[in-house]
Structure 1
Amino acid sequence: MSRTPTVALRSFSMQSGTQTGEKQAALPTGADIGTILCNSDLDGTAPLTRQRFNSDFTLVSGTLPGPGGSGTVATAFSLADGRAVERRSDGGAGSPSKESTPSKESAPTFQAGTSNLWYQTAAGRLASRDLAQPAAVPVDHGISPSPEFVLAGDKPVRYPSGVDARRVAANPAGTVAAGFSYPSPVLWHTDDSANSGGNSLDQPLYLDHIDHNKHDGEERQVTEIPGASSNLLGCVPRLWINARSLLCTNELHFYRISFKADYSRITEVAKLLPESPKIRDAVLSPDGKALAYLKAEGPTVDLYRVSLAEDAKPVEVGPLPTNTGGIGDIVHLVAWQ
């Protein structure tokens, strides 16, 4: 990022749209909180956006330049005052000492529901540290399965080559994941030993119905899932509504994709909204019965909710403020609590 960001975390009533709280902090020079939060055009999955923050929304993950400005170190920033969490100087996941070689830590993310910060080391290993415990020793989790890792609980999710790591969503059990491999949504078993019928890391199942084998003039061998729909071309997985239902979104539609219990077939593709341009950032309600989402047209960003019941109509909750005083009007929906 070219400029130091200011982060504003605001909460709103989902009934009236009234703002009920705010935390705002200017981050240190050189702080980088990643493309998911700092790019208005990139709609990452709901779990990945949420995991940029710790469990109680007091910290946001990011990186700082290493000692002498060389490399990067993974850390988190307080939303009370913007300060970076103090780092250890014992090597591993701690802050490098002045005598150490430049670090290149990357991809900091919180384990869901915790204060455990995970990141990738310069050696390509995964490490974590509980930021709620100042004296906590870094924990090594072995070789990272991919250049950018995705967490489901306390396990990194493997994903196929060509899939955008920022658009990977694992099901609640972490056994199956969906992702986006331009221009298509795909599905695979996260554990190769569990896959069958080609549904694997090497050969994920395509959820849309097009002539994949001739995409971009290249001959490719791909497998469509039975029940694949042409409506899903360009649709990006956002979140799992439940164990067998995936929310897939584009700028015009939200689709609920339902699968057989073994994920071998799509049983239904249902539109959840009337066609509406510039919709994004859906999150699930705490009871799993509704969605909140944003509609962004020009400088205006509006908050909506819609029940997942059949024939439900979207309800406009209200407009959201867009000026944080820092990098501009980049607004993302993080969670419904």
Structure 2
Amino acid sequence: MLRTARRHLLLAVAAALTLSACAGSTGTGTPSAAPPPATPQGPAIAGKDRVVVAWCERFGAPSPVSADAKVHVITVEALSMPDGARITRQKVTLPERGSVDTLCGEPRSTTAAADRSLFNADFTLIAGTAPRPGGDGLGATAFTVPGGTPVDGPKASAAGNDSAPVFQPGTSVLWYATGDRQVTSRDLGAPGSAPSGHGAAPGPDFVLAGDQPWLRRPLESKADQVAVSPDGTVAVGTGLSLWHRTDPASSYAAEYVEPMLIGRTANGRAALPGSEHAPYCSPIGWTSDVTLFCGGDNLYLLTFSADRGRLETSTALLPPEHFRRVDSAALAPDGRSLAYLASEDGHTVLYRLDLAPGAVPSVVGSIGMPPEGVVNPLTPRLIAWL
């Protein structure tokens, strides 16, 4: 009986294997290739009513190719805006000598728009630089999120290091300045597509507003401290200072314009009429073509005339007892509210504030303290409110 049962079992297994083989065959008898295993991605970063936060651990992981070297690790996190709950956390381990300078370089004062331009439309790529084939300088590329694999590049070149890689908003088109100071773009959604030239970059970096590079910058300002108005005609920089896209270069150097100060006249430079008592603050973003949001010793709304030739009003939003130093901030999609990060007792706290005088900020959640063992963590940055 036992032998008979065992024989029946073996026959059943053999039949099952035969059926399985037949199911995996084509009509010609050639086995079909099994689909590759899916790479675990976790929940998507992009989504409605979320904020995206990112930070860099400088030299936070061993290099996979050099025993004595380390590489940068970027964390990208999506949080629910209503309650601060973490939706996903994804890691980007950059290749050796790879970098996303805005996040992993020296600490900078940046706008959320500048940080958002590091990512493509759905937050699956982050712009940066990596060694070119053969080690001939650094080229512009993008790294997969999560992962950190360079995509479609960097390209070989004899022109030195590429710089300032960013994505055109809402697209997979990467813009950057080549080593010979030419503004260039290529679509990473179409690998192998030919780069497009957009003229000379008279400065070492630029601001991308839509598909228009702002190639000039005011004295003592950096591209990542610049906020361009929604209509693309004026920009403000840290200080504050304001200039038009059509302003001529200053005599100081071809890559600069002489901006109009927002505040008191200083060093022989002209001040914008009506701005004599304006606060010293850094731009966060425009809520309309004539309304600018900025941060300093408080959070302010600045309202300009229609031609941006005069400052009409300057309004402090927070009562002094509610003010916290703002590390980074991003406007809501409708421009009526603000999300911002503030450091408190070693924690990074996420706040929400309606943009109306007398509004009181509310705590949404906490990013928390860096986990044990994190090396050289830079301050978390609020990238966008989606």
Structure 1 gaps of 5+ residues are 88-93, 194-200, 214-220
Match of 2:144 among 68, 78, 84: 78
**Percent of aligned pairs with the same residue?**
37
Q: CA RMSD in A?
A: 2.1
1:150 is aligned to 2:207 = yes
Task: Name the counterpart of 2:129.
Answer: 63
1: CA distance between counterparts of 2:332 and 2:369? 23
2: CA distance between counterparts of 1:142 and 1:290? 37
Structure 2 gaps of 5+ residues are 1-57, 60-69, 249-255
Task: Name the counterpart of 1:242.
Answer: 288
User: 1:102, CA displacement in angstroms?
Assistant: 6.3
1:18 is aligned to 2:85 = yes
Amino acid at match of 1:286: P
Task: Name the counterpart of 1:269.
Answer: 314
User: 1:30, CA displacement in angstroms?
Assistant: 1.2
Amino acid at match of 1:20: I
2: CA distance between counterparts of 1:203 and 1:33? 30
Match of 1:190 among 245, 250, 269: 245
1: CA distance between counterparts of 2:263 and 2:104? 29
Amino acid at match of 1:172: P
Give per-residue Cα distances to partners, 1:7-48, cap 9 Å, x unaligned.
1111111111111122222121111101x3236842201211
2: CA distance between counterparts of 1:308 and 1:138? 41
Task: Name the counterpart of 2:31.
Answer: none
Match of 2:325 among 256, 261, 278: 278
1: CA distance between counterparts of 2:347 and 2:364? 14
1:314 is aligned to 2:337 = no
Match of 2:224 among 159, 166, 173: 166
2: CA distance between counterparts of 1:40 and 1:30? 15
Task: Name the counterpart of 2:266.
Answer: 212
Match of 2:302 among 234, 237, 257: 257
Match of 1:222 among 239, 246, 269: 269
Give per-residue Cα distances to partners, 1:230-275, cap 9 Å, x unaligned.
4522x1112111111111112x311111000011111110112233
SS state of the match for residue 47, structure 1? helix
SS state of the match for residue 330, structure 1? coil
Change (3 A) 1:86 1:306: same
Amino acid at match of 1:259: F
1: CA distance between counterparts of 2:349 and 2:175? 33
Change (3 A) 1:54 1:246: same
Give per-residue Cα distances to partners, 1:75-103, cap 9 Å, x unaligned.
1100122111132xxxxxx611xxx6363
Q: TM-score, normalised by structure 1?
A: 0.85
Task: Name the counterpart of 1:95.
Answer: 155
2: CA distance between counterparts of 1:313 and 1:40? 33
CA contact (8 A) 2:262 2:278 kept: no
1:46 is aligned to 2:112 = yes
Change (3 A) 1:102 1:70: farther
Q: TM-score, normalised by structure 2?
A: 0.75
User: 1:309, CA displacement in angstroms?
Assistant: 2.7
Task: Name the counterpart of 1:27.
Answer: 94
Amino acid at match of 1:178: V
Larger radius of gyration: 2
